[in-house]
Structure 1
């Protein structure tokens, strides 16, 4: 997981993970552990999200977190992961949350972020595999998916290494042809930043 490269134009792409693709959870590296969400983590989550440039300001991140908590706090607390270091610092976070990219809401991986000072410790891989294994226990007919952007080429490589593949079909606001074009451009960016 890296920060978003804002020098690249925004281009949304979707990726899917077939069920039962991830056989087991990648355990956290020694010195890190999961904690359940409490309001004590609110500011740390907002700082983490802005630190990797998923939001421009902490106020925007705070607004989104307040919105999710108001929508379904119990679901958020059950399905978002918070990775802490030995000193109690928030190192990484990600979760399952309903996405609205299709006609009906579907669960997706959402807000994957690892603090730059904790990157390259396998934290994002651990969270993603844990969430994928959890998703496989849920009764749903759809594959797990995520929405990302060409600017997150480092994350796209990670997602692909776990088993996520480009989604080339139509979705809300995008035709199948547009999805193909977006992935064609994103693939060029991946090659340029190999």
Structure 2
């Protein structure tokens, strides 16, 4: 769940593609499933549940704009975690982003676990699955991840997996919110 009680600042993180990935397994009864046609509704429900979108209609509109044009890639790169009853409770994508000069970079995209399932190791297992997938599908390095201060608990997880916060945007330009983000994170660290 996003912590919208603190100021927002954009954060870019990176991890060298070649770094080893120590795979984390899902808890017993949970499993991974790749995207199938119609799962956009599940994706929208999960992303709305963690407050990335105000409602599922906005989530579906985003999905249709950013993901739907790539049906083949969706079936290889977007996956879900299902609980023992078969409910989709988490999602993540091994995606990519292009810079204005056309360079394509691997991107961990839209990591989310429904409230009630957080703290069970699902996000860590999804992240290692995503990193391994990006190592197999992409050739450029580093792997990027876009996040925000509202996701501060997840940032700590990303750091344990080898990601570092950078003061640059994906295209190499300075991130104007870097100093603000670092100050917010430092303040949160002091209060814990």
- Superposed pair shares fold, TM > 0.5: yes
**Alpha-carbon deviation of 1:99?**
2.4
Paired with 2:143 and 2:171, the residues of 1 have a C-alpha distance of 17
Corresponding residue for residue 135 of structure 2: 136
> Are the aligned partners of 1:17 and 1:143 in contact in 2 as well (CA < 8 Å)?
yes
What SS does the corresponding residue of 1:136 show, helix, strand or coil? Answer: helix
Aligned length: 191
Corresponding residue for residue 162 of structure 1: 161
CA separation of 1:64/1:193 partners in 2, compared to 1, >3 Å: closer, same or farther? farther
**Alpha-carbon deviation of 1:171?**
4.4
Higher helix share: 1
Aligned pairs for 1:28-177 within 5 A: 28-100=26-98, 103=101, 104-172=103-171, 174-175=173-174
What SS does the corresponding residue of 1:50 show, helix, strand or coil? Answer: helix
Runs of 5+ consecutive residues of structure 1 not aligned to the other structure: none
Paired with 2:82 and 2:191, the residues of 1 have a C-alpha distance of 30
Paired with 1:183 and 1:117, the residues of 2 have a C-alpha distance of 27
Cα deviation, 1:127-181, whole Å, max 9, x if unaligned, reads: 10111122222352321110000111011011011111111235459526x3541
What SS does the corresponding residue of 2:42 show, helix, strand or coil? Answer: helix
Cα deviation, 1:35-78, whole Å, max 9, x if unaligned, reads: 12223433222111011011121111111122234321110110
CA separation of 1:173/1:179 partners in 2, compared to 1, >3 Å: closer, same or farther? farther
Paired with 1:119 and 1:150, the residues of 2 have a C-alpha distance of 18
Query: What value does the CA root-mean-square deviation take over the aligned residues?
Result: 2.2
CA separation of 1:140/1:88 partners in 2, compared to 1, >3 Å: closer, same or farther? same
Paired with 1:134 and 1:114, the residues of 2 have a C-alpha distance of 19
> Are the aligned partners of 1:15 and 1:146 in contact in 2 as well (CA < 8 Å)?
yes
Runs of 5+ consecutive residues of structure 2 not aligned to the other structure: none
CA separation of 1:192/1:46 partners in 2, compared to 1, >3 Å: closer, same or farther? farther
TM-score by length of 1: 0.88
TM-score by length of 2: 0.88
Corresponding residue for residue 17 of structure 1: 15
CA separation of 1:22/1:55 partners in 2, compared to 1, >3 Å: closer, same or farther? farther
